[in-house]
Structures are given as structure tokens and as C-alpha cells.
């Protein structure tokens, strides 16, 4: 596809904290696949971001591959999108430092994500300096790659607003180097895990894209259902049942009948879950085939990243040079 026909440049990132689960797929990856045909897209595996709230890095490199395989297997096409690894481009670290100089600390302290994370941070030494700077790192990503549009869910909007404030401040203090990026507000359904808490690897409640069919089925069969439906004969309340939310996503043509059958106790929860499991397995079967192809091909993965890094680096070093000129560092 001709780049010129596209609507502008998108930059977005995902943290390599482990293999992607259904929550990532619905909130991020699905949008990324669709957007790559409308916009010029650069997608970042944000490994530096993954360091902002943990010190344990044993799996980091492996997780970069995991996420890369997930991106490719869901249909991000490296011929169409640029995929690169954040830490492979030292320009990020440099621009992050320079932007940190002009970002007032109170702007960072008022970020809701910071306030939340600060509370549940695990290190006994207290919160790291990098966590406060997390949104500056995200601004760096967007600005260094000249992102005009950023697909974000509601939770990331404050970070984008902060990026825009940093742009205004930098351009005002030095020179008009940056353009204010716009949000593309994407629908990000809150996906709950099998225990009804937010789906997250750390809670052990996630259904991963790479799970085997048996794993998917086993996880779905233990999902929490409507708590008011203690017995098979009790009428259910589908709108209060996470299994039903999944039916809405993966079995949409049957939701009317299922809701009805649930309400009049015409269907049992086991049966309802078994049907859902079949659907989820079917939806992700194509993904699994592609995953198998990439999994066995490290060289190909390394080539894809090398290419992506190269393309991304050309843009990043151009931006960095403009910044340094504006700041009279060169
Ligand atoms: N902050 C995002 C997250 O934690 C990931 C991310 C890193 C990102 N850099 C970005 C998102 C740039 C959008 C644009 O999920
Ligand atoms: Fe949930 Fe299905 Fe049971 Fe109704 S029948 S409570 S929708 S699992």
C-alpha cells in the first residue's frame, strides 16, 4: 500500500511483561492490526517501560520475543508496520533525559497512573526515580518517532495530554521542533480474568493467546459466574456474569438466546462455558497456526527486529539532532 494514501503517522507501544493475553488483544492488538492499513504505523516493544515498576529482569529478553511473536501472529505485518525494540535505540534514553529537564515534577505527580502504581510498588527501597518519569519516557517515544496520532485507551489519556504540554513547553522555550500528537481514542473493553479481577499475568487469572486449546477450556470452565445462581435451577443474570461478557465478544450471534436461557434456567453454567470455550478456541486457532511458524524461526524474528530498529532509528536520530540544535547543545 502506498504510504502517501495514509492518514498520518501513528506511534504506539506495548510493554513486554510476558506473553499477551486476551485483555491485550482486545484493548491494543486488535486496534493495531486494523490501524496499520489506514495510517503509517510504528509499534514499539517498550522494554524500558517494563523496568519502571520492577527490578526483576530475568525474563525480559525472552518476553520481548514472546510479544514480538504475538504481534506477528495476530497479524501485524512487518512489511506494513515498523516494529522495533525501545532499548535498542539509545536515542530514547537521550531524549528522555533532555525532556526530563523541562518537565515540572508536579505535572508528573498528578498523573493518575503514577498515584496508583506508587501504592502497590513492591520494592522495599521505595519507588524508583524512573517510575515518576514514566510519562516522560512515553512522551519521548511519541515525539522522537514523530507520532501524530496515538491510539490510547481512556487510562492512557492523561499521558497523552502531558505529552502535549511537554511539546508546548519545549517549543516555547527553544524552537518549534515538535508537533502536538492527537489521541485516537480506542474502545478498550475492560477484560476480567477468570476470577473476575482485571485480567493480568500477575494475578494468574489470564487467558493467553498462546494457551493450548486444553488450557483455554480448563480456564474457562473455572470462570466465576453469576454469584446469585447457586443451583442449576436458579435463574441467572447474564449481565452480572463474566462468562456472558465473553460470549458478547466471541459468540455474538448467540448472545440473545444465551441470555434468555440463562434467565429462565434453561441452560446450565457448565454447558454455557463449554460453548464459550469452543468459540474462543475457534477464534484463536488461526493465530496459533501463525504462532507456530514464527516460534520456530528465531532468525526470522531477529531479522524483523533488525529491520524495524533500523527504520525507527533513522527517524529517532533525526529528531534528536533537531532537539539538540534547538537547545544549542550542538
Ligand atoms: N505506556 C504504555 C503502557 O504501559 C506503553 C507505551 C510505551 C506507549 N510507549 C508508548 C503507548 C507510546 C503509546 C505510545 O501500556
Ligand atoms: Fe453466566 Fe452462562 Fe451461567 Fe448464565 S448460564 S450465569 S451467562 S455462565
Domain boundaries of the chain, sorted by first residue: 3-190+296-326, 210-283
Ligand 1, atom 10: closest residue by C-alpha: 13
Instruction: List residues bridging with 14 in a β-sheet.
Output: 45
Asked whether the beta carbons of 63 and 201 are under 8 A apart, the reply is no
What does the pLDDT look like over 193-207, one tens digit per residue? Answer: 999 999 999 899 999
Q: What is the mean pLDDT of residues 97-126?
A: 86
CATH of 210-283 among 3.40.50.1970, 1.10.1040.10, 1.10.240.10, 3.40.50.300: 1.10.240.10
The SS3 call for residue 219 is helix
Model confidence at 114: pLDDT above 90: no
What does the pLDDT look like over 201-254, one tens digit per residue? Answer: 989 999 999 999 999 999 999 999 999 998 999 999 999 999 999 999 999 999
Catalytic residue among 30, 117, 311, 324: 117
Q: At what angle do helices 90-102 and 134-144 cross, to 10 degrees?
A: 120
State which ligand 2 atom lies nearest to the alpha carbon of 268. Answer: 5
Nearest-angstrom CA–CA distance, 39 and 60: 30
Residue 144's Cβ-side half-sphere holds a number of Cα atoms within 13 Å equal to 30
Q: Find the 87 Cα to ligand 1 centroid distance in Å.
A: 14
pLDDT range class, residue 15, cuts 50, 70, 90: very high
Catalytic residue among 7, 190, 198, 310: 198
Q: Is the CB of 262 under 6 A from ligand 2?
A: yes
Asked if the domains at 3-190+296-326 and 210-283 fall in one CATH topology, the answer is no
For ligand 2, mutation pick of 239, 240, 262, 277 (most atoms within 8 Å of CB): 262
Task: Tell me which CATH homologous superfamily contains domain 3-190+296-326.
Answer: HUPs (3.40.50.620)
Q: At what angle do helices 269-283 and 285-295 cross, to 10 degrees?
A: 50
pTM of the model: 0.94
Q: Is the CB of 277 under 6 A from ligand 2?
A: no
Mean pLDDT over each residue of the chain, to the nearest integer? 94
Ligand 1, atom 15: closest residue by C-alpha: 14
pLDDT range class, residue 123, cuts 50, 70, 90: low
Amino acid at each position: 500500500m502506498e504510504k502517501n494514501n495514509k492518514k498520518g503517522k501513528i506511534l504506539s507501544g506495548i510493554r513486554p511483561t510476558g506473553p499477551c493475553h486476551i485483555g491485550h488483544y482486545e484493548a491494543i492488538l486488535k486496534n493495531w492490526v486494523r490501524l496499520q492499513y489506514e495510517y503509517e504505523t510504528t509499534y514499539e516493544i517498550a522494554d524500558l517501560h517494563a523496568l519502571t515498576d520492577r527490578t526483576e529482569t530475568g525474563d525480559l529478553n525472552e518476553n520481548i520475543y514472546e510479544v514480538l511473536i504475538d504481534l506477528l501472529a495476530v497479524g501485524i505485518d512487518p512489511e506494513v508496520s515498523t516494529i522495533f525494540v525501545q532499548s535498542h535505540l539509545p536515542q530514547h534514553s537521550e531524549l528522555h533525559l533532555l525532556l526530563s529537564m523541562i518537565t515540572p515534577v508536579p505535572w508528573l505527580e498528578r498523573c493518575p497512573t503514577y498515584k496508583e502504581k506508587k501504592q502497590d510498588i513492591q520494592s522495599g527501597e521505595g519507588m524508583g526515580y524512573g517510575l515518576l518519569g514514566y510519562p516522560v519516557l512515553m512522551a519521548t517515544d511519541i515525539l522522537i518517532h514523530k507520532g501524530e496520532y496515538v491510539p490510547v485507551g481512556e487510562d492512557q489519556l492523561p499521558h497523552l495530554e502531558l505529552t502535549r504540554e511537554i511539546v508546548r513547553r519545549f517549543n516555547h522555550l527553544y524552537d518549534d521542533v515538535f508537533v502536538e500528537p492527537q489521541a485516537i481514542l480506542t474502545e478498550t473493553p475492560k477484560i476480567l480474568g477468570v476470577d473476575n479481577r482485571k485480567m493480568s499475568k500477575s494475578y494468574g487469572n489470564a487467558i493467553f493467546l498462546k494457551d493450548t486449546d486444553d488450557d483455554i477450556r480448563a480456564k474457562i470452565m473455572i470462570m466465576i459466574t453469576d454469584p446469585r445462581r447457586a443451583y442449576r435451577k436458579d435463574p441467572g443474570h447474564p449481565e452480572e456474569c463474566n462468562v456472558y461478557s465473553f460470549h458478547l465478544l466471541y459468540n455474538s450471534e448467540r448472545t440473545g438466546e444465551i441470555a434468555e436461557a440463562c434467565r429462565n434456567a434453561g441452560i446450565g453454567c457448565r454447558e454455557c462455558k463449554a460453548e464459550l470455550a469452543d468459540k474462543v478456541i475457534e477464534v484463536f486457532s488461526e493465530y496459533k497456526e501463525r504462532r507456530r511458524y514464527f516460534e520456530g524461526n528465531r532468525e526470522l524474528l531477529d531479522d524483523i527486529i533488525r529491520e524495524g530498529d533500523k527504520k525507527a532509528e533513522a527517524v529517532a536520530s533525526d529528531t534528536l539532532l533537531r532537539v539538540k540544535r534547538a537547545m544549542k547543545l550542538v
